[in-house]
Chains A and B, each alone.
Chain A
């Protein structure tokens, strides 16, 4: 230890204390968020994983949960037709709403940026659906889709359209509503993304004689990649978060035609008090969303140019 002189040791010690004080400060600043995260994210996830290994339903309320290992998952993947349907529905909704919302939002953003008169009005009218509470939106669209005297039936004078009770049309009806609700939200991000693009790039493109489509695909789109990455994750997870609409509009739809994973969890947990199965489905949803987010992050990140 003679290699380190006394002065060096003191200054090393002081540095370590300083580092510890900074670290401690950092932890204390993080603590409130960490407590919330622990209470509302880590603990529920942990509890769900643990609970999914038990049989915890009406038959076991008096005896307490019974350990059955992975049986819940086995039942889920082999015998549960409703789970398959809900899973498939979620995939369809995600695959359709994400690109449609994004493209609609880009178009709206470009339009809102270019408009000279009534810029504020255009932005507000595109954005206001986002401000409405989910339940209000569901009720509005319930009225729009009602056969006969609902808005669509009334305007087109058609008494036979029954979107919400038609197993083929119900998912599409929900998709339309979903896109309507979230396009405005995505548009805001794109507006700010567009405004951050250096105008010199556009000037250079005009000088080089690029037409509209080339300008879009070679300049606008790549420069918007960070925004796109972010909103793609948002819209993707939104597709999996649909619950309130289903509760109001279809309650899972004609014979589970519009049932989705999260609503199925609600049904299993609170209608049928089968907490074990509900936890299993929850774990499946968590894993699914983690995979999607990770895939998106790691593939898109390489292609994203952060200015």
Chain B
């Protein structure tokens, strides 16, 4: 009896670690995806994958929540290094150069053979394609990422707090001077002199995309971006960058912004009323709308000389590798097309999360028109797209990005001044990017 039991357990053990043989006709693909905002996009993605499976019973996409964008990249890189490249993944749009340098990406153009396919491929907002395609050497572009959960950074403001501070609740600050002025006015202290409400919060921690927030202060100066568009040069110590970082630090120096705020706290701080304005991704829009007990507005980011914002968010990537079969790639391609082709589906995703719908037709659907009529903030990020530029993306992305993030943190916590920190960062980044020039 004992021997039978041990044989049975051994068999169970062996079976549980052996790969299960799948039915031949269902292609199963694991898709890592990140969630960087509160509000449950993971459930929405699971629901969409289930819907896809009912329409295409031969393909099953298993969405695997992988944490933040950084965590997802780490997981996919680990898989690639182990020789187990996933066929499809939803990853940060800025991982483009990194993945391209590893020679693991498939371009979408090769699969778009029909007129319909080409119309689909070229039907996305141009603003999102800057982080999604690379020149093909013949004067045209090859697309390596299909936009899915894309955003721009917008200014959220608490209308109740504005009224409380004596400002017009329907007018947001239009430029840096007004931003500083309003933020200072919005600071509220209690009887003991403790600050109970700050004016503005722009998160500056590494875990919260510090480099992305810095871009908001440079792109509003004549659309000046932090890197070249071929991913090999960075402009950390350009006077415009230094000026942008100094202005950001200035906001906390005058007491209008908490010192070195964290991304993870920003949404909660805003909803709790401890800050009156915040720079945040439009992907938080729906979750803020659900939880904020007050009326709030959204607007373009305050300009210095121009309006500007970096785009953000994730793209679908198609991978190639020795372990990926053609059918799997084709299945993944079908899924990606299904997710992003239907204007109603794209519009619904935008309504549910606040991300910008990635195709213009989505904004012509009835549900979006109705939604926007009742909630004009849904259109802010999309309208700002015309002034938006690419998010910071270079070769050896993580290393260079970490250098910049560290510099920003050092300045925002008062360890170094902007010029020193950014000069050092430029030096370090150049040393790394030399290999790729």
Contacts and interface: CB of A to CB of B under 8 A. Distances in A.
A254 B195 contact: no
B98 A58 contact: yes
Contacts, number: 96
B269 A274 contact: no
A157 to B, nearest CB: 6
A270 B70 CA distance: 10
Contacts of B70: 271
B206 A165 contact: no
Interface string B184-226: 0000000010111000000001110000000000000000000
B77 A270 contact: yes
A272 to B, nearest CB: 4
Interface string A120-148: 00000000000000000000000000111
Contact of A165 (B98, B103, B205): B205
A257 interface: yes
A149 B270 CA distance: 13
Contact of A254 (B78, B272, B413): B413
Contacts of A146: 265
A61 B85 CA distance: 14
Interface residues of A, number: 32
Nearest to B260: A165
B262 A165 contact: yes
A274 B399 contact: yes
A251 B260 contact: no
A176 B177 CA distance: 42
Contacts of B74: 270-271
Contacts of B412: 254
Given A59-B435, A146-B265, A270-B77, A257 B98 contact: no
Contact of B206 (A82, A148, A251): A251
A271 B407 CA distance: 17
B417 to A, nearest CB: 13
Interface of A: 57-59, 61-62, 82, 146-149, 157-160, 162, 164-167, 251-257, 267, 270-274
Interface of B: 70, 74, 77-78, 81, 98, 101-103, 192, 194-196, 205-207, 258-262, 265, 268-269, 272, 274, 395-396, 398-399, 402, 406-407, 409-410, 412-416, 435-436
Given A148-B269, A271-B74, A254 B396 contact: no
B402 A270 contact: no
Contact of A273 (B103, B205, B398, B409): B398
Given A59-B435, A165-B260, A149 B274 contact: yes
Contacts of B262: 164-165
B413 A59 contact: no
A59 B102 contact: no
Given A149-B272, A159-B194, A165-B205, A254 B415 contact: yes
Q: What's the dominant secondary structure at chain B's contact region?
A: helix
A168 to B, nearest CB: 9
Contacts of B78: 270
A256 B396 contact: no
A255 B415 contact: yes
A59 B205 contact: no
Nearest to A166: B413
Contact of A157 (B194, B413, B435): B194
A178 B399 CA distance: 29
A144 to B, nearest CB: 14
B183 to A, nearest CB: 16
Given A59-B436, A272-B399, A255 B265 contact: no
A146 B262 CA distance: 10
8 contacts: A61-B102, A149-B268, A157-B194, A159-B196, A252-B406, A253-B409, A254-B410, A270-B78
Nearest to A146: B265
B395 A58 contact: yes
A186 B291 CA distance: 45
Given A157-B194, A158-B194, A272 B396 contact: yes
Contacts of A158: 194
Nearest to A266: B74
A254 B98 contact: no
A256 B406 contact: yes
